[in-house]
A and B are shown apart, each in its own frame.
Chain A
Amino acid sequence: DAEITQSPRHKITETGRQVTLACHQTWNHNNMFWYRQDLGHGLRLIHYSYGVHDTNKGEVSDGYSVSRSNTEDLPLTLESAASSQTSVYFCASSEPGYEQYFGPGTRLTVT
């Protein structure tokens, strides 16, 4: 069965370190998205991609970057982790015009 996976599921890192969260989907979807989920804020879009080599900023993109070198993967990089980036991160994918499918999430703690 097709799926979307994220790794690691849990990560603890120190302030200032670079961190990369992986997202891999086997749906062969063109669209991929990264969200963060925080209490009181719901889901907020960080970055998104409509295809290979395409990336776009979402509403909370500062301090984050993505690159899309193939259809299956959209890694999210925190250039210099800050305590404000402690959150749960979700990756999602979709075909244009259709619902999104979500990964299980990565819980990131920045100390």
Chain B
Amino acid sequence: DTGVSQNPRHKITKRGQNVTFRCDPISEHNRLYWYRQTLGQGPEFLTYFQNEAQLEKSRLLSDRFSAERPKGSFSTLEIQRTEQGDSAMYLCASSYTMSTDTQYFGPGTRLTVL
């Protein structure tokens, strides 16, 4: 069990550019979550997948954000036309609903928009 992994760990981009992050969950975990954390705050829920189906989206997830989980394995989070307000840590978590549904978090991708 290698844990949840995220790539890249850091991303610096210019305002207006598109960025894509990847999350690889713990194998056999059927749920995958995305969160965003800004400085001094707790993480905030963005969206989650059960297998390949995206079942919930937070109001925080604007039209510029899109997430996919093809084949129910890894997931990608894309932000189009980035804004300075998108600068944050993007965290991914996974869980296994046939167990306690404990969410395990990856190390995060820190995005800086210049």
Q: Report whether chain A binds chain B.
A: no
Hey, which bits of chain A sit against chain B, CB under 8 A? Answer: none
